[in-house]
Amino acid sequence: MQPVSWIRDAILYQVYPQSFQDSNGDGIGDFQGLISRLDYIQSLGVTAIWLNPCFDSPFGDAGYDIRNFYQIAPRYGTEEDFQTLAKEAHARGLKIILDLVAGHTSMDNPWFVQEAENPQAADANRYIWKNREFDPREGPDREDFVSNFFWHQPALNFGYVTPTEPWQDPVDAPGPMRNREELRNIMGYWFDRGCDGFRVDMASSLVKPMDDPDARIATIALWQEMRKWMDATYPDCALVAEWSHPLEAVHAGFDLDFMMHFNAPGYPSLFFNEVGSLPPMEGPCYFDARGKGSLSIFQPEYLKQLAGIQGKGYVSLPVANHDFQRLRCGPRGWEQLRCAWVFFMTQAGPPTLYYGEEIGMRYIENAPAKEGSTLLGITAPNAGTLDGERAGTRTPMQWDAGPNAGFSDAPPQDLYLPLDSAVDRPTVEQQEGDPESLLHFVRNLIQLRKQHPALGSDTGYTFLNSEEAPYPLTVLRESEDQRILICLNPCGVRKEISIQMVGTPSKVLLNVGGRVTPGEGSLHVSMEPFGYGIFRLRSP
């Protein structure tokens, strides 16, 4: 399987729709508000918008508990509004990626309601009923069915790879086959209405039990089947996974998968500090002013994932997302953000930006819980039991100095979440007028990536650091006719390193506080605190 052509050069922009732009004064973002901001999104240089779930939902988990897969949630508008959004985005060269929750629904979903009213029915098999003996008048208890994530999100039945209980269906039973057909119907419905792809929530969670390697193999086969169907009927549409294990996800037919906070390790060791929605690593992370972090977890894992999917799909390292803290959180301040952005925009895969990161919005500590944002008691693979608060990374976009930062005309108490209360909170308006702002820096990095083939998604990526000398980070990017050296020092202490001679600098593409000096068979790299540089190289 080959990835769809447009994903190679993609730069994704994740929009949390309820927090982006409100157009009707109810305090919640919507499609018409997003349409009004498409010119801004286009101006960043991104190529695709990924929207968190926008289907009809009771919003017990911010829309990841879907009541009707074929209906837009009224808070966002109508199906016609979505089609207008897709049309207007396409006119600006932007793709639209929707969030698909393939493995579970809301308890309010009519499928679940119908089966709960008659659990003994022969076709009550969309869900995994551990016990069908409950009184339908009282409804099922949480112990009567299998859930994904929160208990009130009943798992759709895609079967068990090795059934051990009478209530467990094999993967080819009528219920699982029925759900596969429904999955194709849902995707096709929205592809026909302008959707260019899906980011699939908990993509590895379908066949049970999730922690069984054989179940993952069966889930991979299921997605391969879906991809074969897509290639035949919607060949230009993309599949993006929340699998966080690109080696498996790409093999399953996904064009792109993320490395982030679970499964394939490494991301937390780079960015998770003492504050945030997910637990920190033991000891300082790499992007920490103390300069005591390590690349020992991330470096080998990143290279392993890249090597295993070469030519078949891509890895994306996201600049934050709706489930974990923003870059600017805890002790990480303004002066450290640009180093991180250089890292993200020179990665070996399509970058994914989270709304507001381009202006340095803060993770808001002690934000009020909203729509299932609290992770208390949830267990995640390779992340343990969680107890963080995600609301702090979901606050409204900050557009200008006007009321509610330009997000909404609603009274402040009616906003989806409170705004950052800091008097100096960053805004798009302020940074548009400052050529030295983070916003302009991000735009320039995006253009730099587009202009230099060696910085693309399918070119070489070589760490030049040793584990004994992790600072400054030095990476060689190579295409057929271009070689670029990336150096950055995310800590508050001057750092130096001697690396192998990979060529001499011929052109400085970007440099703040850095110096690269050729020596005898080596290059000496010196970086001031929070310095960074991108250098074109001549051959050695």
Whether residues 189 and 310 fall in one domain? yes
> Does 108 fall in a domain?
no
How do residues 175-209 score in pLDDT, each as one tens digit?
Answer: 999 999 999 999 999 999 999 999 999 999 999 99
Residue-by-residue DSSP string for 267-321: HHHHH--SSSSSPPPSS--SSSTT----STTHHHHHHHHHHHHTTT-EEE-EE-B
Q: Is the peptide bond before 411 cis (omega within 30 degrees of 0)?
A: no
Please report the beta strands in 128-219, taking only residues with DSSP state E, as ranges in sequence order.
197-201
Q: What is the pLDDT of residue 104?
A: 98
Whether residues 393 and 477 fall in one domain? no
Cα–Cα–Cα angle for 304, 307, 310, rounded to 5 degrees: 145
Whether residues 374 and 518 fall in one domain? no
Q: What is the CATH number of the domain that holds 17?
A: 3.20.20.80
Look up the pTM and report it: 0.97
> Does 361 fall in a domain?
yes
Q: Residue 35 to residues 18, 27, 261, 421: CA-CA distances in angstroms? A: 13, 17, 31, 27
Q: Residue 238 to residues 86, 180, 203, 255, 497: CA-CA distances in angstroms? A: 15, 18, 14, 6, 41
Whether residues 420 and 465 fall in one domain? no
> Does 137 fall in a domain?
no
C-alpha to C-alpha distance for 376 and 372, rounded to whole angstroms: 10
What does DSSP assign to residue 187?
Answer: H
Whether residues 272 and 418 fall in one domain? yes
Six token digits for residue 439: 């916003």
How do residues 74-111 score in pLDDT, each as one tens digit?
Answer: 999 999 999 999 999 999 999 999 999 999 999 999 99
| Backbone phi and psi for residue 159, each to the nearest 5 degrees, phi listed first | 90, 170
> Does 181 fall in a domain?
yes
What confidence tier does 375 reach under pLDDT thresholds 50, 70, 90?
Answer: confident
Whether residue 385 is predicted with pLDDT greater than 80 in this model: the reply is no
Alpha helices in 161-282 (DSSP H): 174-191, 213-233, 246-251, 267-271
C-alpha to C-alpha distance for 199 and 276, rounded to whole angstroms: 24
How do residues 307-332 score in pLDDT, each as one tens digit?
Answer: 999 999 999 999 999 999 999 999 99
Domain total in the chain: 2
Residue at a domain's end among 421, 449, 477:
449
C-alpha to C-alpha distance for 290 and 274, rounded to whole angstroms: 13
Whether residues 286 and 347 fall in one domain? yes
Whether residue 383 is predicted with pLDDT greater than 60 in this model: the reply is no
Helix (H, G, I), strand (E, B) or coil at 215: helix
Whether residues 263 and 360 fall in one domain? yes
What does DSSP assign to residue 395?
Answer: P
Whether residues 185 and 310 fall in one domain? yes
Q: What is the CATH number of the domain that holds 468?
A: 2.60.40.1180
Q: Which helix (H) or strand (E) holds 516?
A: strand 505-518
- Residue with structure tokens 């050729």? 518
% of the chain at pLDDT higher than 70: 98
Q: What is the pLDDT of residue 382?
A: 52
Write down the mean pLDDT value for the chain: 95
Q: What is the pLDDT of residue 520?
A: 85
Cβ neighbours for 87, distance < 8 A, ≥ 6 positions apart: 194
Whether residues 183 and 326 fall in one domain? yes
Task: Report the half-sphere exposure of 31 (CA within 13 A, side-chain side).
Answer: 23
Whether residues 178 and 263 fall in one domain? yes
% of the chain at pLDDT higher than 90: 92
Closest to 21 in 3D by CA, of 46, 49, 45: 49
> Does 306 fall in a domain?
yes
Residue at a domain's end among 449, 473, 501:
449
Whether residue 44 is predicted with pLDDT greater than 70 in this model: the reply is yes
> Does 145 fall in a domain?
no
Whether residues 235 and 345 fall in one domain? yes
Q: Residue 495 to residues 269, 330, 462, 465: CA-CA distances in angstroms? A: 20, 23, 20, 12
34 conformational bin, left if phi > 0, alpha if psi -120 to 50, beta if neither: alpha
The range of the structural domain enclosing residue 434 comes to 5-102+174-449
> Does 154 fall in a domain?
no
Q: What is the pLDDT of residue 384?
A: 55
> Does 526 fall in a domain?
yes
Residue at a domain's end among 420, 449, 478:
449
- Residue with structure tokens 């074109």? 536
Q: What is the pLDDT of residue 186?
A: 98
Whether residues 394 and 529 fall in one domain? no
